[in-house]
Amino acid sequence: MSVPGCPRGTAGRSLGVDLGGTWMRLCLADSSGKILKRRRLPAIRWTNLLAVLSKLDKSWRIGRLQHLTAGCCGIWRGEERRRLKSSLRGMAKQVRVMSDLELAHGAAFNGGAGILLIGGTGSVALGRDDKKCLLRIGGLGPLLGDEGSAFWIGRQALKNQGLAQRWPEGLALRLAHGADPVRQIAGLTRFVFRWARQDARARALLRQAAEKLADLAQELSRRLDFHGPIPVSWHGGLFKDKNFRDGFLRALKKHNRRFIAHSPSLASEIAAARLK
């Protein structure tokens, strides 16, 4: 039996959205959870999500969805969640809205206990303990926090006297007063990773960043109630670099031997598309 208003074969589909600070990732799945389409787009403000998804509907022929789950950067307050959920209600029978951090945590631990570190443009950690208590540390943005993030690495690299000679003259001033300085400065991290292959100063900076992210995990482990081994996972562009990830794991072990680290169980957008 077809669903009125839906293109043939589209009934029961689900769409997962992972809207972070740099990228938006989308996954369309059928009723069995099979992935039909995936796409990565530049990040947008969550207030513009409906307009982007409406355009996507035309190219993907989505029709009316059964489930739509969106994890969005900056969505913490109930008022914001209700506003976004209301705007998306016409696209799906069931709409779920949460922060991108909560979505990533669920994808990493299948809804169970653990500590998730986000290392992207910004930095933040979210922990859920054995009593299902949820606690967030970090995420204060570039002015008050984001230690160990891509922005932090880029800013430190601009200020580092040993690395200053590698940058074009006047770059720091142009970035500081240019458009979208946080994202532009975070983008410098790719050069630091490249230089780290041969430059000990770049390697030291990346090691410091990894240690600061591990510090967040240690702080959460002190404030939450874990009875046994403490699962730890990660999310974000910094962790795609194996050397950075290995440095983070070494820092974890120094902090606490109870930490048991593992890669995320699923990509966030896939987990969102399969959430029933």
In this structure, what are the phi and psi dihedrals at residue 237, rounded to the nearest 5 degrees? Answer: -60, -30
| CATH number, domain with residue 190 | 3.30.420.40
pLDDT over 90 for what percent of the chain? 53
Q: How many CA atoms lie within 13 A of 239 on its CB side?
A: 20
Q: Are residues 59 and 170 in the same domain?
A: no
Domain that holds residue 19: 14-106+267-274
Q: Classify residue 9: in a domain, yes or no.
A: no
Q: How confident is the model at residue 11 (pLDDT cuts 50, 70, 90)?
A: low
- pLDDT tier, 237 (very low <50, low <70, confident <90, very high otherwise): confident
- Please check whether residues 96 and 125 belong to one and the same domain: no
Q: Note the residue count of the chain.
A: 276
Structure tokens at 16: 């997962």
One domain, residues 116 and 83: no
Asked, for residue 7, whether it belongs to a domain, the answer is no
Q: Looking up tokens 């299948």, which residue turns up?
A: 110
Token duo for residue 195:
């230089």
Which residue would you say has higher pLDDT here, 270 or 111? Answer: 270
Q: Are residues 186 and 203 located together in one domain of the fold?
A: yes
Q: 59 in a domain, yes or no?
A: yes
Q: What is the pLDDT of residues 162-186, one digit of tens each?
A: 888 888 888 988 988 988 899 899 9
Report the Cα 250 to chain-centroid distance in Å.
Answer: 22
CA dihedral 121, 124, 130, 133 (to 10 degrees): -130
> Which two tokens mark 43?
């990040």
Q: Are residues 90 and 128 in the same domain?
A: no
Phi, psi (deg, nearest 5) at residue 93: -65, -40
Q: What distance in Å separates the CA atoms of residue 171 and residue 7, rounded to the nearest whole number?
A: 51
148 shares its domain with 235: yes
Verify that 209 and 145 share a domain, yes or no.
Answer: yes
| 79 and 150 co-located in one domain | no
Same domain for 116 and 249, yes or no, is yes
Confirm whether 86 is domain-assigned: yes
For residue 7, name the pLDDT band (cuts at 50, 70, 90).
very low
What average pLDDT score do residues 1-29 get? 71
Both 120 and 237 in one domain: the answer is: yes
Q: Is residue 8 part of a domain?
A: no
Q: Is residue 139 part of a domain?
A: yes
83 lies in the same domain as 157? no
Q: What is the DSSP string of 92-104?
A: EEEEEEEEHHHHH
Determine, yes or no, domain membership for 1.
Answer: no
pLDDT of residue 10: 54
Q: Residue 180's Cα: distance from chain center in Å?
A: 19
Q: Are residues 127 and 257 in the same domain?
A: yes
The domain tally of the chain equals: 2
The 10s digit of each residue's pLDDT in 98-140 is 998 899 998 899 888 999 999 988 899 999 998 999 899 988 7
Element (H, E) at 261: strand 259-261
C-alpha count within 13 angstroms, C-beta hemisphere, residue 210: 25
Residue 4 lies in a domain: no
